[in-house]
Chains A and B, each alone.
Chain A
C-alpha cells in the first residue's frame, strides 16, 4: 500500500479494509498505469484478474463503481480496486493488462451501459444485440423488458 502511495501520489482516493479485504478507490486517469504496476513484480504480481463488475448508485454524481478483484499467486493475496464513473463517462479498458477482462467488460457494458475505451470488441454479450436498456441499473425495474424487441422477435406481447 505504501509502495502504491509512493508510485502514484494522489491517485488513491480511498483505502479501506473490511472483513480483512483491502479495497482501494483510485482516480480514473491513473487506472491503466496503476494496473500495469500492480501486475508487475514490483507491484505485487497481481497476475490474475478474477472478476470485474459494477455497482450502480444512481443518486451519486458519478453513479457507477467499477470493481476489480485481483489475485496475486506470489503473495497469495486478494485486492479490490474501484474506479468511479458517471453515466456516459468512458472508462479505460484493462484488456491490455489482463485479457480476461474482455468478456467481463462486455458484460458490464451489457448490464450497466458502461462504455470502455480501448476494448477490442465492445458489444453486448448476454442480451440480444438490439436490446434497449441496461437491466442491472437501479432505475431498470425488475419487470421491465424491451417490449418492442420481444414483440418483433418472439411474436408475443410479453415475456412475463
Chain B
C-alpha cells in the first residue's frame, strides 16, 4: 500500500481497531477500500510493546523465564518451554526423561488450550455463537490441570532451566487420560457444528488464500503454513525433548484457505490427544532435574533454538558473554511474522473477510508486540 499516497474519489480509508473485538487485542489495520472491497492494508502494531528483550538483558537467566509467559499469554507453557530449552542448549545440559515427557504432556495440553480458544473466538467472529461456550468449557479443564500442577492457570512458569521445579501431583496421569477421553467426542461435536455447516463453508472456503510459495516467502510457519500444503512441523523435522519417541501425524491442507486451516487445527487437536496419551504412558519414575548449578552461568556463545508453538515456529536466539545475565535474548515470535502475510491474504476480499483472516492467522498481540 505505501506506493499510493492519494485516494481516488471512490476509495475510502478506514481504521479497523485498535479497539475492535475481532482484532483479538490491540491491532490496528488501516484498510484502503473501494466500497466493501479491500484494495490494500497496513498493520499498525506496538500498542502492547513492553520491551521484553530489553528486560532480559537486565535479569539473570532464571529471572527472565517468567517474562516469557507474558508474551503469548494464551500459550504460556510452550513459551516457557522454548526459552528453557534454549538456555539448556547453551549450557549443554541433558534433561532427564521424566521431565521431558512431563513437559510434552503439558505442552500438548497447552496446544489444545490454545487451539480451543482459537476455535471458539474464530467461530464467534464469523457469527457462530455456540462453539465459544463449548470450547471455553473444555479449555477450563486443561487450566484446572495446570493449576493443580503448578498453581497458575495462565502464566504458568511451569518449567525451570534444567528440568522441572515440581514433580507430578498424585493423579495427574489419570486427570490427563480422563481429559483425553472427554475431549475426543467434544471435537466431533465441534465438527458437527461447523465442518459441514453451509454458512461456515461459505464464510471460509476460498477466503484468505495463501499459496505455499507465498507462505514460505513471507516466513509463515505453523498451522498456517501446513494449511497451504507444506508438511512441516518442527516436532517432526528437528525433534526436541522426546518428540522423536512418540507417534503422530502432521495434517496438511490443500488450498491454503481459511477452511483448510480450520481443518488442520482440528486435526492437530486430535494428534495432540494422541501425543498426551503416549507421553503419560511413558512417565516412568526418575529424576526431574538435570545437572544445573545453583547459579546459571553459561559459556560465551550463541544459540538459536526453536520449537513448534501452537501458532508456529517460536525461536529464541540467546547470546551469552559468560556472565549470569544474558547479553541478548531475541524472541522470534510466530504471530509477528505470520501477521505480515495479512496484507496479501485480504486483498480483493470484503471487509467482513478481514475478520475471518485475522482470526485464521491466530495471532496474539502480546506476542506480536512483546
Q: Which residue numbers of A lie inside 8 Å of B, CB to CB? A: 18-19, 21, 23, 47-51, 53, 55-56, 67, 69, 73, 76, 78, 80, 98-100, 102-104, 111, 120-121, 124-128, 135-136, 140, 142
Contact = CB atoms under 8 A, between A and B. Distances in A.
B323 interface: no
Contact of B304 (A21, A102, A135): A21
A100 B340 contact: yes
Interface of B: 2, 45-46, 49, 51, 53-55, 57-58, 89-90, 92, 216-219, 221, 230, 232, 237-238, 301-304, 306, 313, 315, 317, 319, 327-328, 330, 332, 336-337, 339-340, 369-370
Contacts of A53: 317, 330, 332
A48 B330 CA distance: 18
A69 B301 contact: no
Contacts of A21: 303-304
A120 B2 contact: yes
Given A50-B332, A51-B330, A125-B46, A100 B217 contact: yes
A45 B216 CA distance: 12
Contact of B219 (A73, A98, A127, A140): A98
Nearest to B47: A126
Given A121-B2, A126-B49, A127-B49, A18 B337 contact: no
A22 to B, nearest CB: 11
A19 B317 CA distance: 13
The 4 nearest A-B residue pairs measured at CB: A100-B219, A126-B46, A51-B332, A53-B330
Which of B46, B89, B301, B313 counts the most chain A CB atoms within 10 A?
B46
B315 A50 contact: yes
Q: Is the interface of B mostly helix, strand, loop or mixed?
A: mixed
Contacts of B53: 111, 136
B302 A18 contact: yes
A22 B88 CA distance: 18
Contacts of B327: 55
Given A55-B328, A69-B332, A103-B336, 8 more contacts: A18-B303, A50-B219, A51-B317, A99-B340, A100-B217, A100-B337, A126-B370, A140-B54
Given A103-B336, A125-B46, A76 B237 contact: yes
A142 B304 contact: no
A50 B301 CA distance: 20
B337 A103 contact: yes
Nearest to B50: A126
25 contacts: A18-B302, A19-B90, A23-B302, A47-B216, A47-B217, A50-B313, A50-B315, A53-B332, A69-B317, A78-B304, A99-B217, A99-B218, A99-B340, A100-B217, A100-B218, A100-B219, A111-B53, A121-B2, A125-B45, A126-B45, A126-B49, A126-B370, A135-B54, A142-B55, A142-B57
Contact of B89 (A19, A125, A127): A19
A102 B238 CA distance: 26
Nearest to A120: B2
